[in-house]
Structure 1
Amino acid sequence: MRAALELAARQDGEPLKAEAIALAQDIPHKFLEGILGDMRRGGLVTSRRGGQGGYRLARPADAITVADVIRTVDGPIMTVRGERPTHLAYTGPAAPLLPLWIAARAHVRAIVDVVTLADIAADALPDGVRALAEDPEAWVNP
C-alpha cells in the first residue's frame, strides 16, 4: 500500500525507481520488487527499464481503490483460516458464524472499495471513514 501511495503522491508523469520508493517508505528493496511485480501483473502499475525507467501507476490515483491494491498484492479482502467466507460451512451452534464472517467482510469492503489512493494521498478520507477512525474505541485493542 505504501509503495502505491508513494507513486500516487508523485503522479507527475515521470517514473519512480524502486530504490527511491524503498528509501522513501523504508521498505526492503527485494521485498518491494516482489510487491511491484505483483502490482504490475495486476495492472496497477507500469514499468519501464533503463536510466529513465521506473514505475508509475497504470491508472489515475482516483481510479485505484485500497481494495484494488489489497486484492492484487494479498488476495481476497477477508479470509477465515485461509478460506473465503463464501467457501465455508458450519453446522449446529456454529452455523451463525457464516453470516457473521460475511457481514464482517461486507463491512470492510464498504470502506476499502470506496477509498482511493488519491483520497489517502490528499489526506481526504471520506467523512464516514474519518468518523469511524475518530471513534476512540476504534483505537483500543481489547
Structure 2
Amino acid sequence: MQVTARADYALRAVIELACSEQEVLTRDALASQQHIPAKFLESILGELSRSGLLTSRRGSGGGYSLTRPATEITLADVLRSVDGPLAGVRGESPEQVTYPESTKRLRDVWVATRASLRLVLETTSVADVALGELPVPVQELLTLPGAWERR
C-alpha cells in the first residue's frame, strides 16, 4: 500500500485536532504543528469538511474542529475522504476485476488485501492513535516477524 502525502497529511491534521486542548484550530496552527505546507493542507481540510469529518468556522476564533468524537472516526474514514476506496486495481474495486483462467485467483488476493487493510484501518480510531492505544489486533501485527523490515 502506498500512502499518499495527501492521506498522510489528512491523518496528521485530524489526529492533531483530536490531541488539541483547544476545540478549534486554524489551518496555520495545524500546518505549523505538523510541518505540513499550509496551502496544500487547505485543500485537504476542505475535503475533510465536505466529507463531514470536520466543520469550519470563519472569522476571529475560527478554524477547524472534528464533527464527532475522535473515538467515532476511523483511519479508514479519513483515508477514504481524501483518496477514495482503500484498495483498487487499475481504478476498479477488487471484486469487479476479471482475469483469464490462469490468473483468476489473483482477484481473491486483491480482495484479501483489501480485507487486511480494513482490519487495521477500520478498527483503529483517530482517538486510538492520539492516545497511543492501538487495538490489540493491530498491536499483534506489529510483532509479526519482519513487520518492521523493509522489503
Q: 1:110 aligns with which of 84, 103, 119?
A: 119
Figure out how many residues of one structure are paired with residues of the other and give that number: 141
In 2, Cα distance between the equivalents of 1:29 and 1:79? 29
Partners of 1:134 and 1:57 lie apart in 2 by 32
**How high is the TM-score relative to the length of structure 2?**
0.89
Give the residue type in structure 2 aligned to 1:42.
S
Alpha-carbon distance between aligned partners in 1 of 2:96 and 2:28, rounded to the nearest angstrom = 40
**Structure 1 residue 140 displacement after superposition:** 1.6
Q: Does 1:7 align with 2:17?
A: yes
Q: SS where residue 68 of structure 2 aligns? A: coil
**Which amino acid letter does the alignment assign opposite residue 74 of structure 2?**
T
SS at match of 1:137: coil
Corresponding residue for residue 134 of structure 1? 143
Q: Which runs of 5+ in 1 are unaligned?
A: none
- CA–CA separation in structure 1 for the residues paired with 2:83 and 2:92: 13
Deviations 1:75-126 (A, max 9, x none): 0011122322122111121101101100110111011111000000000001
Distance in 1 separating the partners of 2:17 and 2:145: 31
Q: Which moved more, 1:42-51 or 1:78-87?
A: 78-87
Matches within 5 A, 1:44-55: 44-55=53-64
Matched, 1:31 2:40: yes
CA contact 1:11–1:56 (8 Å) conserved in 2: no
Distance across 1 between alignment mates of 2:116 and 2:35 = 31
Following superposition, the deviation at residue 141 of structure 1 comes to 2.1
Corresponding residue for 2:105? Answer: 96
Distance in 2 separating the partners of 1:5 and 1:33: 16
| TM-score normalised by structure 1 residue count | 0.94
Q: Gaps spanning 5+ residues in structure 2: where?
A: 1-10
- Structure 2 matches for 1:73-92, cutoff 5 A? 73-92=82-101
Instruction: Determine whether 1:19 maps to 2:5.
Output: no
Query: Match of 1:68?
Result: 77
SS in 2 for 1:47: strand
Amino acid at match of 1:124: E
Matched letter for residue 27 of structure 2 = A
AA aligned to 2:14 is A
